[in-house]
Structure 1
């Protein structure tokens, strides 16, 4: 076998296959990438298995080819290329450049002709040739030196054709592939062939008469009157089809085999491209590149100093400042050191040097000295633990990146840098390792990495600010997100006291409840079994008790929550099982979970607020997640009893917005009826019930109000008739009538829903009242389900996002007011639309006045904002 290996890839065929084989994917910039991803996975497999010395990807040049001179309808039945695929061709070519792979196209010719010509040249020059395509036309190129790999289903399942395999599989020689197509035609290329002649008949004919020409010389001898008639009638079509199906192996290409030498790729270039495209799962495969030498990422030298003393002259008043930390939660994080970069120089400051320096502390706490930080909240909290109160923060990189790319989930400095085309910094996992292998490297590797990150922040700050200004989001960063980050940092550092004895007592009560429920279930089942085992529960419910089977799985009966919900009224065992599961989750997730994260010295939990996570702008929290305590369940609500004030004679004070999303909807949609209802302080659900059911106030039944409430909140989330029917237990037809009646009354809401979807299609994003963006590239998808989800998201995001903006601004206003009034009260938590404070009892009267005033007047809407508040000995009592 030759050591010279030529690989020729049919670019159009493979990218088409990949596009239709994979679901639509897109990167953080909204660029579709599924076809490129599929092509790349196949390409990397080819490089590894075939180890080419010469390589080319051939593309079709356009719709018109020399074949159209023969037959104008050639390829005429093909549907237009979907725009989601068209836009991926340039991306693929960029990726091929990164791989240092040549690609070529030629006017009036197809990729097949380029490949046919080069494969012949390769064969004549004693190359071992492999052709890769999704098109069986290419099988005519098969020979002892040319193997054709054809993709079957999608792109991962392939079949290798040699002359022997072709004969075994299709009972024809490579040369006969053209005659086969001439007879049977090809609907995908709109090649007519002879009507009524399929593959079986064509093969039978070619076994008797090896070529089309021989067949027609002996056409009178063909058995079967009907077949003979068709062959004679459509003789011209058959010969034209042969001409159309024949690959031109002498096309006038300007590329030679010498031009397509392949020497492998540089890992750094491919890695960068993968990071930009979001192909993180392929990154590991790059490092094992054995299709060439590859090169490690070459980082430019960086000039910096490791300081043994902090001096005033190190700072300019406009300094990038990075606190490098390792650890995954509030209790375990440790500072590894500090990076400082400015227009003069770059420094690494070891932790112990910084902490023993008055100069460092003075600089950090000086509000006139501007600092550009990576994550203001995290930086603030980490320094507060060392009694340093950071001030003068002028830029927060993580929040800027979040506002620019809300759908991106990696906002580390190297990831941001890669998205912005700057690659002179390593990813953390390349320095620290990951998983069990994670460790802190020795100096100077550690200090250099931290300084590189700090310098990257310094260099990119201006560019990111410019992008925010272009998007009209600079004010959102400076006036909302950054001030809020500092408030959240103080809240995290402050923490909330948890009454451990009370939590343990609740845990014991829950255990008793669970034991009682278990006994009751066993009694109803007539035997004992493992309640947590679907394998044991299934036969009891569906065989022994004879309940109707809703759904089966590979391992037996489904006992999932949705299945049990449907069976709730079938047997009294079901409600008990559902309650058992809910209480079990409370016990494991919230009781035991809370006990794990309580700080042993202070009895506090320091929940972490994620400010750069949700695409709507809402905050979430972890360690513990306080957003998800299931308050619909009485036992869940009681968990809030354990959250108590940090001082004696203090109280918990909770204030939450009433129906904020519906009020925001009324404002954004400017719906006359909705606006009027809120301005007149009417019960909105009762009002909707009156309008939809055409009844007076006193005639509204609790069920009518319940249905109206489901519609009101459902509309905010772009609910479908199916979704509403499931919520209310009514038919889809009834649900549709309900929604139609709603839109007939609230016409402004209907217009808003229609307009916002059109706006999203036009711009690719929607915005909140404070210009927060939600990008929706899927809004133009051909896939109905994908597109529908994007449309619902377009309707909901401005509402949910604006509600998030409002409570964030309220927190800033309230924080400022508490300072001005010199009050001791302080914010502890934000959960959904609720703020939780603690305060001395003597400040209650003032809080009752200040908190609602600040929250209700933080923004001016067409409708009034309304805040409910309560206070008590615990968070539970403040209801």
Structure 2
């Protein structure tokens, strides 16, 4: 879309504000105070308008909202919109501030009494086209599609959808000029406008294609056969009224609201009212937005869409950071490098950052590195920049050797942003960096787990500083250049800024962590875990490429067999991945029942539907098996060998430390946490993780760790007694729930109890339990009621935890990790319920995450001291995997479970179990 005066941009403000309200968390003017004014919809609206203004430059704009009160449609049909829920109070409270901030941002605001926003937009669109303008309407409302023509386009920025003439025709099966007829036939459930009974989009489009218009269809209503024809004839008297209700008016009198129509001058783009806007942002707690205006640097603010949750007040450190001058240097001589090395040795703490050839930490090579020793003072050491204009740089290997003593000195304190990555980069050059004492990514993760932890967000949020982006230097997509080709002067400004900003952010975050003993302990654990994870990632695990190739071949044969079986059951070949073809075969040809529909009204064939239909039909069962095996093949047996280091045959998974809000690690490239070990084919994947000759694989994992944590947290006497007595806790639960002795518990009852035990930890409802066990809801509810009667401490813990979460906005693990719950007081019921489930589960998952991290650190320390030949190679959920000399197996069996069980003292004993084998699967 070009920036031209021929564009009129109309925003469906009513659509926007509802989307903003439901898309954003429950933000408040005073963060953490649920009694202060709600601000989530306001913030979302500001962000959406900023983004839209950048995406669609226009000379004329307007933001249109529905006015309160009835319209002509209510007079025409008293039940119009009768089924709509009232506007949530928290959204209603934000309407006036939203109107205010939209005006301050330079957008004319229209609310016309007695006229809906759609009708105002329709009228303005026609006025704009009449004056030669191109009109762009931004809305998620499909009803506005009837306005589309060669000069009017509807865009939906939330999902990237563009409804021009071709887009409307492709989406609905009719061109825009037939959309009113289409909507009349289909009706509008949202607005409670009936259509023709049992006539959906597909039938409506077919009829209109056949007869050309609603009027022509009505004339031939007697020719339509079957139930659909009768329903059409039954609706003939209603259709004229229905058509009036769904038709957007394009001739409203807006002159009172826009004096001077049809000149449209009242909608000329206005400038932002900076002073008033800053006051508004301060009033509603949007301190980062206020700081950006204060800095008066729109070019530095990027696209004007800062982090959605960036409301942290700036400290004195942050204020100084955004106002000071900087002294950045490029090191191109040995003399300057030696001078800077003296500064590095003398500094209390050095911000250290690398610029590299790749994001792949195992293969990345250094292009340059930067140092910051005090606020505003930084230097860049370019080492591998290329190109005709690149200056002569110090030799990379020699410069690294000159720096090695400082880099490997544990007594020289260093700071980084995501230090584990930089450790790998230096290790690729044979340097083991020591002395890393701080990581700003991990500081943010400990303090504000629910917020973004990248340096750009951190600097903007905590210091008000915005800077050069990687894309500014290197470009995007196919045109992106390697960092080594960036001119050194520009690279230096970027790299120095990174190191400098890292030091700035640290100076804001570290005092907040120091102020809490609990957070200090969790942060120390994260720093130590980063070191251990670096070692584990560096070790990697050997995979048997030949075994994987055989498994891929066998899976491929079975997948082909399943395709042929599916064709025979369907009576024809078809695309197994096409929802449209599946729907036609399932429901039209084979007469299977429709389980549910998609948001657009199509008959769903998703995984849940396939599982339900597979209970009674063989074809869905084959498709489920086909999908499962295809995923195994593409994700694991085909890919693992490709991801292995070609020299060593080892796979080096990456552990993302600052992703999961519970503290759990995330494994990727490859993801080893999602191997489906409940199926035989999935377990075979683990057979390919092997040990070299003379060595074995060992697996040591915590037993029923989350249930033990539940017993500790709840203090329930029956649960505590079961664990202290060394009982099978699922059998003990079955005995309690079914009222029998331990000896009388059947395998089926134990299975039920296991589902109940783990299900309640994850907030499973009676409906979920019924579905999981294949029983009715009443029986499931009775099981849950009986469980809580036998374990009242668990019930009380759940109630107390939800209440505490609502009062303080977060919960904690046993060790003090803080787990934020921004939606715990949300007016949105489903979101609030999800937050309540998280409040119950997060302390258990988070405590389990803390325990496995403590175990990793403790075990690694013992290995370093006593058994350096034993390598820790994987961490998956509550399990540690080792590669070791066969002769060390007895030592590991005796020592590692004891270390893991001894990292914490809970109200119940921790238990870790160990297995040893030639491969990972055998070790289980």
Question: What TM-score comes out, normalization by structure 2 length?
Answer: 0.69
SS of residue matched to 2:328: coil
Q: RMSD across aligned C-alpha pairs, in angstroms?
A: 4.4
User: Which residues of 2 match residues 495-514 of structure 1 at below 5 A?
Assistant: 495-514=540-559
Tell me whether 1:566 sits opposite 2:595 in the alignment.
no
TM-superposed CA distance for 1:837, in Å, is: 0.5
CA 1:744–1:341 in 2, change beyond 3 Å: closer, same or farther?
same
Contact 1:468-1:474 within 8 A present in 2 as well:
yes
Contact 2:26 2:822 in 1 (8 A): no
Secondary structure of 1:632's counterpart equals: coil
Contact residue 320 and residue 457 of structure 1 kept, 8 A? yes
Q: Which residue of 2 aligns with 1:314?
A: 343
* Structure 2 counterpart of 1:195: none
Alpha-carbon deviations, 1:677-715, whole Å to 9, x = none? 111111111111111111111221222111111110011
Partner SS state of residue 342, structure 1: strand
Q: Give the deviation of 1:514 after TM superposition.
A: 2.2
Aligned residue number for residue 157 of structure 2: none
- Cα drift, residue 866 of structure 1: 1.1
Separation of aligned partners in 2, 1:14 and 1:526: 51
Are 1:132 and 2:145 an aligned pair? no
Per the alignment, residue 44 of structure 2 pairs with 37
In structure 1, how many angstroms separate the alpha carbons of the residues matched to 2:767 and 2:813?
28
- Select the residue among 395, 400, 411 that pairs with 2:453: 411
Q: What is the match of residue 303 of structure 1?
A: 328
Which whole-Å CA distance do the structure 2 matches of 1:532 and 1:91 have between them?
Answer: 44
On the 8 A contact 2:368/2:383 being kept in 1, the answer is: yes
> Among 445, 450, 463, which residue is 1:402 paired with?
445
Query: What is aligned with 2:815?
Result: 770
Task: Show CA shifts across 1:340-394 (max 9, x none).
Answer: 0103942111236453133301100000000011112111111111110000111
- The 8 Å contact of residues 325 and 335 in structure 1, kept in 2 or not, is answered as yes
Unaligned stretches of 5+ residues in structure 2: 6-10, 33-37, 68-84, 129-134, 146-255, 260-269, 275-295, 311-321, 385-393
Contact 2:442 2:523 in 1 (8 A): no
- Quick one: structure 1 residues 848 and 261, their matched pair in 2 at CA, closer, same or farther if it must change by over 3 Å? closer
Q: Say yes or no: does 1:334 pair with 2:365.
A: yes
Q: How does 1:75-474 map to 2 (within 5 A)?
A: 82-83=89-90, 86=93, 132-133=110-111, 135-136=113-114, 267-268=298-299, 271=302, 274-277=305-308, 301-309=326-334, 310-311=337-338, 312-315=341-344, 316-317=346-347, 318-330=349-361, 332-343=363-374, 345-351=377-383, 353=394, 355-357=397-399, 358-408=401-451, 410-439=452-481, 440=483, 441-470=486-515, 472-474=517-519
Question: Secondary structure, in 3 states, of the residue corresponding to 2:614?
Answer: coil
Contact 1:42 1:156 in 2 (8 A): no
Q: How far apart in 1 are the matches of 2:772 and 2:116?
A: 55
Confirm whether residue 578 of structure 1 aligns to residue 624 of structure 2.
yes
Aligned residue number for residue 588 of structure 1: 634
- Could you say what secondary structure the match of 1:756 adopts? helix
Question: In structure 2, do the counterparts of structure 1 residues 594 and 822 end up closer, same or farther at CA, with 3 Å as the change threshold?
Answer: closer
Question: For residues 449 and 46 of structure 1, do their structure 2 counterparts lie closer, same or farther at Cα, with a shift above 3 Å needed?
Answer: closer
**1:631-686 superposed Cα distances (whole Å, 9 cap, x missing partner):** 111111111111112x4201000011111011111111111111111111111111
How far, CA to CA, are the matches of 1:320 and 1:613 in structure 2? 23
Moved more, 460-469 or 305-314: 305-314
CA contact (8 A) 1:27 1:278 kept: no
2-structure distance, mates of 1:561, 1:535: 15
CA contact (8 A) 2:687 2:920 kept: yes
Is the Cα–Cα contact under 8 Å of residues 15 and 35 in structure 1 kept in the other structure?
no
C-alpha separation between the residues in 1 aligned to 2:271 and 2:51?
17
- Give the Cα–Cα distance (whole angstroms) in 2 for the partners of residues 615 and 795 of structure 1: 14
**In structure 1, distance between residues paired with 2:655 and 2:543:** 18
Please report how far the alpha carbon of residue 478 of structure 1 lies from its aligned counterpart in structure 2 after TM superposition.
4.1
Distance 2:840 2:515 in 1: 24
Give the deviation of 1:131 after TM superposition: 5.2
For 2:354, what is the secondary structure of its paired residue?
strand
Go from structure 1 to structure 2 and tell me whether the alpha carbon gap of 1:558 and 1:22 turns closer, same or farther (over 3 Å shift).
Answer: same
1:710 pairs with 750, 755, 769, which one? 755
- Pick closer, same or farther for the CA change 1:568–1:80 going to 2, 3 Å: closer
For residues 776-795 of structure 1, the C-alpha deviation after alignment (integer angstroms, 9 at most, x for no partner) is: 12111122111111110111
Contact 1:95 1:273 in 2 (8 A): no
Q: Please point out which of 817, 820, 829 is paired with 2:874.
A: 829
- Deviation for aligned residue 1:524: 4.2
Decide which of 854, 857, 860 is 1:815's aligned counterpart.
860
Gap change, CA 1:81 and 1:875, over 3 Å in 2: closer
Q: Which residue of 1 aligns with 2:674?
A: 628
Where 2:769 maps in the other structure, the secondary structure is helix
Deviation at 1:521, TM superposition (A): 3.8
Quote the residue 2:185 is aligned against: none
Cα pair 2:446 2:519 within 8 Å, conserved: no
Q: 1:399 touches 1:477 (CA, 8 Å); kept in 2? A: no
Q: 1:628 to 1:702 in 2, by over 3 A?
A: same
Change (3 A) 1:300 1:154: farther
Which residue in the other structure is 1:225 paired with? Answer: none
Query: 2-side partners of 1:526 and 1:303: how far apart?
Result: 72
Shift of 1:758: 1.0
Q: 1:697 to 1:730 in 2, by over 3 A?
A: same
**Deviation (angstroms), 1:626:** 0.5
Give the stretch that moved more between structures: 840-849 or 535-544: 535-544
**Is the CA contact (8 Å cut-off) linking 2:20 and 2:40 kept in structure 1?**
no
Whole-angstrom CA distance in 2 between matches of 1:856 and 1:89? 58
- Contact 1:307–1:348 (CA under 8 A) maintained in structure 2: no
3-state SS of 1:838 partner? strand
Contact 1:425–1:452 (CA<8 Å) still a contact in 2? yes
Q: Hey, what's the Cα distance between the residues in 2 that align with 1:137 and 1:579?
A: 54
Aligned to 2:786: 741
**Structure 1 463/631 Cα, relative in aligned 2: closer, same or farther at 3 Å?**
same
Measure the CA separation in 2 of the matches of 1:89 and 1:466: 39
Q: Aligned equivalents of 1:522 and 1:261: distance in 2?
A: 63
8 Å CA contact 1:24, 1:32 repeated in 2 = no
Q: Is the 8 A contact 2:50 2:305 kept in 1?
A: no
For residue 695 of structure 1, what is the aligned residue in structure 2? 740
Q: 1:577 to 1:51 in 2, by over 3 A?
A: closer
Q: Distance in 2 between matches of 1:443 and 1:330?
A: 23
Given the superposition, is the C-alpha separation of residues 273 and 764 from structure 1 closer, same or farther in structure 2, using an over 3 Å criterion? Answer: farther
Give the secondary structure class of the aligned counterpart of 2:921: coil
Relative to 1, partners in 2 of residues 1:544 and 1:438: Cα closer, same or farther, differing over 3 Å?
same
Secondary structure (helix, strand or coil) at the match of 1:777 reads: coil
SS of residue in 2 equivalent to 1:778? coil
Displacement of 1:423 in angstroms is 1.3
Q: Secondary structure at the match of 1:582?
A: helix
Name the SS for the 2:884 alignment partner.
Answer: strand
Greater Rg over alpha carbons, structure:
1
1:98-127 C-alpha deviation (Å, 9 max, x unpaired) = x5x69xxxxxxxxxxxxxxxxxxxxxxxxx
Could you tell me which of 656, 662, 680 is aligned with 1:610? 656
Distance change >3 Å, CA 685–CA 371, structure 1 → 2: same
* CA deviation map 1:263-320 (0-9, x unaligned): 89952476486213369xxxxxxxxxxxxxxxxx999554323243332313124211
Cα distance in 2 for residues equivalent to 1:495 and 1:402: 26
CA distance in 2, matches of 1:620, 1:157: 42
Correspondence for 1:600 among 624, 642, 646: 646
Q: 1:43 to 1:483 in 2, by over 3 A?
A: closer
Q: Matched residue pairs, number? A: 715
- Residues 872, 314 of structure 1: CA spacing in aligned structure 2 closer, same or farther, 3 A cutoff? same
**Are the aligned partners of 2:332 and 2:381 in contact in 1 as well (CA < 8 Å)?**
yes
